[in-house]
Chains A and B, each alone.
Chain A
Amino acid sequence: MSMAKGLDFSTDKVLAKEFLSNFADAIGEAKYMNILQEVANRKIRAVQIDLEDLFNYKDLDEEFLRRITENTRRYIGIFAEAIDELMPEPTEAFTDDDHDILMTQRSDEGPENMDGSDPLQKMPPEIKRYFEVYIRASSKGRPYTIREVKASYIGQLVRISGIVTRCSDVKPLMQVAVYTCEDCGFEIYQEVTARVFMPLFECPSKRCVTNKTKGNLILQLRASKFLKFQEAKIQELAEHVPKGHIPRTMTVHLRGELTRKVAPGDVIELSGIFLPIPYTGFRAMRAGLVADTYLEAMSVTHFKKKYEEYELRGDEEEQIARLAEDGDIYNKLSRSLAPEIFGHEDIKKALLLLLVGAPHRKLKDGMKIRGDLHICLMGDPGVAKSQLLKHIINVAPRGVYTTGKGSSGVGLTAAVQKDPVTNEMVLEGGALVLADMGICAIDEFDKMDESDRTAIHEVMEQQTVSIAKAGITTSLNARTAVLAAANPAWGRYDLRRTPAENINLPPALLSRFDLLWLILDRADLDSDLELARHVVYVHQNKESPALGFTPLDPSVLRAYISAARRVSPCVPRELEEYVASAYSSIRQEEAKSNTPHSYTTVRTLLSILRISAALARLRFSDTVAQSDVDEALRLMQMSKFSLYSDERQKSGLDAISDIYSILRDEAARTNRMDVSYAHALNWISRKGYSEAQLKECLEEYAALNVWQIHPHTFDIRFIDA
């Protein structure tokens, strides 16, 4: 049986040799022979064999691949032997180190030493090797969580993810112990495979044994081969732990080139061999009932957390493709944001666009135009502003939630601080810097420190934080989308005062927000009833009322958004005119009405473009369409309405569009294209509009082909929602 096995392995060695010498990567280079050449030249030590390469190898032998994954440790030895035989001559000169000198000495002495088949005197191949072999699991598919690695995986190559919780120092681990005998003078070798070993004390060489001299052996530290060794503990990531359970941990052994790659707190992905710890001595004798296990690391990769580096899993790609085909993706995604918060459709849409963002533009003259959208939510206490903020942060792969007051001295931007130990000045980034390439949600925006408030101007437009303090002048990147929430000036929104008085922020800051929403807690019978119904339903049924749709998982949302963010749409020439005219008409309107509270500037134009671009991204389209611009304009209009709603009721003109939006929202909520006249009248009268205004609205929008009106019953049919 052992013969058969031996044969098996020697054929596998041939297979390994063939693979190493014949494998060609995508550009036709002999990848592994190049690596071996570098090893021969003492440039690198690690020979990393990618199982994916083996999978893509032209003469793929699936049985061979399976054998490697299931008995990886053995195959590392086989590959090492194969490499021994393939190792090319060095093409560059390198300086000999101690090891080489010893090796030359040994090979000089070799012939006279060879007194036969004494295995302990034969030099183990390990001592001659300069390289280390690693077999790396394929990076396809999802890595296991620690919980999923079961007894059946022992001995196999697995890939797992986790967070490093502890790291030991790097210590030398003896790989080959070399002794010299005081009597016969021979070098005796002992290979060490475990963490502890029993040193030899008596010379086992033939000469000593036959002479019965019991030659004293002396361990030669210099001649022995050591390996760097580090032990680490990894723990399951919080999101992989089932509810009501505690994260599991696993011991990881890192050797050679893999040491010093991880530090506590790192989120990593490991491939390695799941092995039992061989017990030694007493414990092994004691029935060996319980086995501790560890992971012999084969490769270490650090996790990325940015949108740009978000890797889609196989099934996600499919799901996104399916979602993208669905025409209603904009509504579907926005409704899935904070589904437990009722209503606020337009705000959620705006928040979705904030997550998606627009591409950054860099002009030829070096000027940068930001693509991040900034949104400010203003409103009475208790209208779920903070909840919205926190939800958005959860969806974003990189998000920082902070309050205007900030908790640390670093605050929002950055600070120069004196290190208490070294007394050196160090630069510490605040929330905005930490959220670089992500989203920074700032609650209590109005209660911000004065120093931060000045700095935030720069962050929001230039997207950098400049520091000139204590001899340090520098500028840090803060390419972040700002999502702010603020309370009105007097705690509650005071309807007797103007919006500008209520909003306690300087216009210079306000103009930097692309969209500004006011959420008021109105004494509205409808919403009160809605709330009461909701609470009663929750108590009765122990769950939230059905939403009329199934919200998408945050992970799906994240995947979709990250896919959307890869698109960078541009505005086609024929649309430029349209945008320009829309912008100028807004300006005209503003000039006509002498309201002091509008801030339509060039920034507004940029905002329109940004929002349209974000909308185009959602459709995975490379060009911005007119519908995108229309929706952008509508959102901006709605954001303005939320601010000046009291005036809108006075002026007859705005009432029409308000009625339209009420009807449209109600139709969307009930998911119907048809609205009966009686219903429509019911809805608008609750909001304080007259029947005459409704009729006016119906006519006006029918003329725009938004809906059709039945000539007799005046029932409404939306042409396209």
Chain B
Amino acid sequence: MVGLPYDLVANPLGAVRSTFEKAAASSGFDPNGKDWGVLDLFRHFLFDQGRLSQVPILNGETIRWIQPKTLVRFRAMVQDMLGNEFYVGAYQDGSVWRTNKFTDVSQFRLDDSSPHTQVWERRLLYCVPVPGQNSWTEPSSESVVNHCKDFIPQQREKRRRMDDEAIDDMNMLVSDNGFQVSPSVKKKEDGRPSTSSQTRDSLSEGYCSNTSIAPGIDKDFLSCLVKIYDSPESDLKLNDVFEFIGVLTLDSELNEDKDDHDEPDNGFCDDVMEHLPPIKVPRLHCLIHRKLAAPDFLCGSPMMEPKPHFVREMREVLLRHLTVVLGNDGIAAHFMLLHLLSRVHARVDTVAVGKLSLNLTCFSKESAALFGSRLSLALKTLLPFTHCIPLTLEYLNSVSLAPKKDYETNRLVTGVLQLAEGSHIIIDETQLEAGTLNSVGMENARLLRNLLELQRVEYDFKYYKMEMAADVQLLIFSEAKSNILPADIVMPFQPSSVGSSEVVTAEALEAWRWYLATVKSLPHSIESEMQKVVENDLVAARQTDRSIGSHDFNRWLTMGRLMSLSFGETCLSLEHWQMVKELERLRRERLK
């Protein structure tokens, strides 16, 4: 494209407005809130022209550098949905249509007498960094910093002053009427006196020193209120991980709204503004969003097609690594590899097909501490999102595992089990001691059990519960078979050496991450001859042992699938099926 009128990264709103005005000027314009072509403009710029990498990533670090009203990328999980918001989307300024889409404040003062205002709606999503996200998934922010540092916001300064004057006018107007409305500027600026002239000073002061643009923002936990336009509701689901590309507004312009809360008669205090003040939670007006899967978090150069011999080799190396981590227990390492590759790939009736939770037994407190920490460290470097739950009595009795709706604030209060798809949890049951569970503990135990058996979490909405599907890999350490947490595979763990942990190169780690992320999502099928073999094996097994049920059948088939995937193959072969049976045989032997 030649001669873009606006820099889409530095001034996306300019492009939004100019395209709108162009569209509005054309005949037959219908201000209905639908996209008028600006999204295509951005899509073309970001993807077709490959400028996505120019857009800075928003996180606790970069927020200090990024200027408001610029284009940013934000990777986060949808934690709560705050419903929709109605706003004056388009209005006539004289005879010209103007739009407020993708912005919180109007460019021009809105005139009440304007005969034509169009109310449009947008959806609000409260997004947080993905729980348990490991640091290796974060792209380095250096480039972003450099990019932003030399961006000098000149034209904004002017507007800021205009706005301040407007505020001053307001203050005067209000106090003339005898209302003691204290401008919130006072609260915001740490109790500085709030006479109008000083307000302006302090504001521009804060503006000049870049670091204090967002003083209230938590550096490690940057949550964001994302405003979604245009896309259908079914696109964005709770707990999905997205990359939002949109316009950032975190300025204090909106803060003055707080004044309204001095109203004497404010029924419920569940206003969004109150609980998510813009000063703490920046707003992101989303232009484009895309769902992220595990491979999107790999930052190294994407590798080519998974070549069979290459995958095979990688499998061997990773297996060796896992064996070392697991104290030379080769069989446990095999099961661990399958476990790490598992994911729920279908839900049929009540069965979550593809889950493979692993229960390593025969731990003592000491060995759990040793191998547990080593294993959790190893998994941290391999998987994007990991968690560790020490299952103690107090923990069970006090923690809130399930998310819960708080009707006081009208927010969904997150729980430990509100997790993104593909998260990994280690539950250390060795720390559990005999004692009494209270009702919270019972409920939590039930929740964990449901998660293990059905891969579902019940969200507590007080008047009813809603089941949300989850896809979480669960690894349990216990002394003997865990009865509270019935895993798919119970595996007595028999380390033969304590072994020192080996040094792993960064390249190897990157390759393993790539292996795990890629192989996991390969398709899988069973040829009809192989189906016969499998069916006959299953029937034979059940004929000899009546206690074998559909649960075991499911496990074997899942293992078969994962086994062939681990070799990078998409079709179950007899060899791999035999391997599964052999593994199961070895496991059974250990169980005896």
Contacts and interface: CB of A to CB of B under 8 A. Distances in A.
Given A231-B267, A291-B87, A531-B550, A245 B237 contact: yes
A544 B349 contact: yes
Given A531-B549, A531-B550, 10 more contacts: A165-B463, A171-B265, A196-B264, A244-B240, A286-B105, A528-B539, A536-B535, A539-B353, A539-B558, A544-B348
A154 interface: yes
A535 B531 contact: no
A206 interface: no
Contacts of A235: 461, 463
Given A283-B257, A287-B106, A535 B553 contact: yes
B191 interface: no
B348 A538 contact: yes
B313 interface: no
A523 B543 contact: yes
A246 B170 CA distance: 38
B346 interface: yes
Contacts of A195: 263, 265
Contact of B179 (A231, A281, A382): A281
Most A C-beta atoms less than 10 A away, residue of B112, B407, B561? B407
B353 A538 contact: yes
A589 interface: no
A153 B4 CA distance: 38
B226 to A, nearest CB: 14
Nearest to B554: A535
Most A C-beta atoms less than 10 A away, residue of B238, B553, B558? B553
B238 A245 contact: yes
Interface string A190-202: 0000011010010
Interface string B531-544: 10011001100110
Interface in A204-257: 231, 233, 235, 237-238, 241-249, 251
A557 to B, nearest CB: 17
A288 B108 CA distance: 12
Contact of A543 (B33, B346, B469): B346
Nearest to A154: B119
Contacts of A528: 538-539, 542-543
Contacts of B468: 244
B538 A246 contact: no
Contacts of B233: 147, 242, 245
Contacts of A276: 86, 119
Contacts of B465: 238
Sorted nearest first, the 9 A-B pairs with minimum C-beta distance are A244-B237, A542-B346, A532-B538, A231-B267, A340-B349, A287-B106, A535-B553, A539-B557, A246-B81
A290 B240 CA distance: 27
Interface in A544-561: 544
B36 interface: no
Interface string B52-84: 000000000000000000000000000011011
Nearest to A230: B267
B80 A246 contact: yes
A265 interface: yes
Given A246-B81, A282-B170, A287-B110, A532 B535 contact: yes
Interface in B460-516: 461-466, 468-469
A179 B519 CA distance: 78
A290 B557 CA distance: 54
Interface of A: 147, 150-151, 154, 163, 165-166, 168, 171, 195-196, 198, 201, 231, 233, 235, 237-238, 241-249, 251, 264-265, 276, 279-283, 285-293, 340, 382, 387, 521, 523, 525, 528-529, 531-536, 538-540, 542-544
B118 to A, nearest CB: 9
B110 A238 contact: no
B100 to A, nearest CB: 6
Most A C-beta atoms less than 10 A away, residue of B177, B234, B237, B463? B463
B88 interface: yes
Interface in B534-572: 534-535, 538-539, 542-543, 546, 549-550, 553-554, 557-558, 561
A288 B557 contact: no
B581 to A, nearest CB: 14
Contacts of B270: 233
19 contacts: A163-B463, A165-B462, A168-B268, A233-B268, A235-B463, A244-B239, A245-B233, A251-B268, A280-B260, A281-B179, A283-B260, A285-B173, A287-B109, A523-B543, A529-B539, A532-B539, A533-B535, A535-B553, A538-B346
A530 to B, nearest CB: 10
A523 B540 CA distance: 11
A286 B257 contact: yes
B469 to A, nearest CB: 7
Nearest to B170: A282
A134 B464 CA distance: 31
B260 A242 contact: no
B463 A282 contact: no
A26 to B, nearest CB: 38
Given A245-B237, A289-B88, A265 B263 contact: no
Given A247-B466, A265-B463, A540-B531, A281 B348 contact: no
A203 B170 CA distance: 25
Interface of B: 33, 80-81, 83-88, 100, 104-106, 109-110, 112, 119-121, 170, 173-174, 177-179, 181, 233-234, 237-240, 256-257, 259-260, 263-265, 267-268, 270-271, 345-346, 348-351, 353, 407, 410, 412, 461-466, 468-469, 525-526, 531, 534-535, 538-539, 542-543, 546, 549-550, 553-554, 557-558, 561
Given A238-B464, A290-B85, A535-B557, A166 B170 contact: no
Contact of B110 (A165, A249, A281, A288): A288
A263 B417 CA distance: 31
Given A539-B353, A542-B345, A241 B466 contact: yes
A195 B264 CA distance: 10
Given A281-B260, A521-B546, A532 B348 contact: no
Contacts of B83: 248-249
B542 A233 contact: no
Contacts of A536: 526, 531, 534-535, 538, 553, 557
A265 B464 CA distance: 9
A387 B453 CA distance: 14
Contacts of B256: 282, 286
Given A276-B86, A282-B181, A290-B86, A539 B535 contact: no
A283 B258 CA distance: 9
B90 to A, nearest CB: 12
B119 A151 contact: yes
Most B C-beta atoms less than 10 A away, residue of A243, A533, A536? A536
B119 A535 contact: no
Contacts of B104: 289-290
A529 B174 contact: no
Nearest to A521: B546
A279 B526 CA distance: 63
A235 B81 CA distance: 13
Nearest to A526: B539
Most B C-beta atoms less than 10 A away, residue of A195, A279, A287, A288? A287
Contact of A166 (B109, B407, B466, B538): B407
Nearest to B267: A231
A291 B100 CA distance: 13
Contacts of B543: 523, 525, 528
Contact of A538 (B170, B179, B351, B535): B351
A339 to B, nearest CB: 9
A402 B86 CA distance: 45
A168 B88 CA distance: 29
Given A247-B466, A528-B539, A231 B268 contact: yes
A397 to B, nearest CB: 15
Contact of B121 (A151, A201, A283, A523): A151
Contacts of B109: 287
Nearest to B462: A165
